[in-house]
Amino acid sequence: MRPCVYLCAALLIITSAAAWSAPTYSWELTASFADLSRQPSSNDVIQGKNVTNGGAVIESGGFHWAFPDQADAKYLTDGIYGANVHSVLHDYAFPSLKIRYEFDPTPVWEILSFGGNPDKNGRVFQNVDVEVKVAGDWFEIIHEATTGPYYVHNGGRWEASLIRIYDDSGGMLLDGLPIEGVRLTYWSPDNTQDWFLPRTEPNAICASIIKEIDVVVPEPATVIGLLIGVGGVLARRRNK
């Protein structure tokens, strides 16, 4: 069996086996960055990728024109929260940022989007769609992930936000199917008056501040176990 046939068979088997599990997301708004359940990683699979080094592609929108040093997206993958203005997405752009990362195929635990602003205003909220690339094709796995309900006023309560995309089975995203890219599409959350508005509201023009995007992968030993598991399933199928 050629490698591409193996992959197609694995896709079919895993997809059918995972009929009762699916990608989902959770959201957090906290008084400080330290209160979030996750912290930015410096060893995830997109760490250090940016436009300058060819690891990131901006497909639409971008960053606030007042901060040209943010334009190559380097502060989204530097492993830290960074300065207060790292990184202000593009106000008055729809979407405010659409960005793509590609990498060698790997199982993925979770995808994390950290937002925040010490001014504790509407730029802390997030509204994002998430796609993944599998076997050469892109699939949207989460549409309109938000940091909670709309028409909410921050009013100095929350400095930090987190959207976490994971599998509701508690295992790997897509049951460990190798993922080779992620695309995040952000929409402005705020009307400049510190109100979280849906993307369909024409006044939602004030963009999020996104501190980091992490694509968290399992330890190498776990990857080997997953591959053995996929191989075992294929072997059993062939023996039938």
Output DSSP code: residue 77.
S
CB atoms near residue 38 (< 10 Å): 14
Q: Which is nearer to Ca ion, 216 or 226 (CB)?
A: 216
Rule CB under 5 A: is residue 28 a binding residue for Ca ion?
Answer: no
Closer of 78 and 190 to Ca ion (Cβ): 78
Instruction: In whole angstroms, give the CA distance from residue 141 to residue 15.
Output: 13
The answer to the question of residue 212 lying near Ca ion (CB under 5 A) is: yes
Q: CA-to-CA distance for 126 and 130, rounded, in angstroms?
A: 12
CA 124/CA 189 separation, integer angstroms: 9
Stretch that binds Ca ion, among 11-19, 42-50, 201-209, 229-237 (CB under 5 A): 42-50
Point out which span in 21-29, 44-52, 119-127, 193-201 binds Ca ion (CB under 5 A). 44-52
Rank residues 101 and 196 by Cβ distance to Ca ion and give the closer one: 101
Q: Tell the smallest beta-carbon distance from residue 62 to Ca ion (Å).
A: 16
Supply the DSSP string of 169-192, one letter for each residue: TSSSGGGG--EEEEEEEE---B-S
Handedness of CA 209, 104, 9, 18 (dihedral sign): negative
Contact with Ca ion (CB under 5 A): which of 79, 105, 171, 225? 79
Shortest Å, Cβ 229 to Ca ion: 27
d(CA 48, CA 54): 10
Among 21, 24, 30, 47, binds Ca ion (CB under 5 A): 47
Site residues (vs Ca ion, CB under 5 A): 41, 44, 47, 75, 78-79, 82, 212, 214
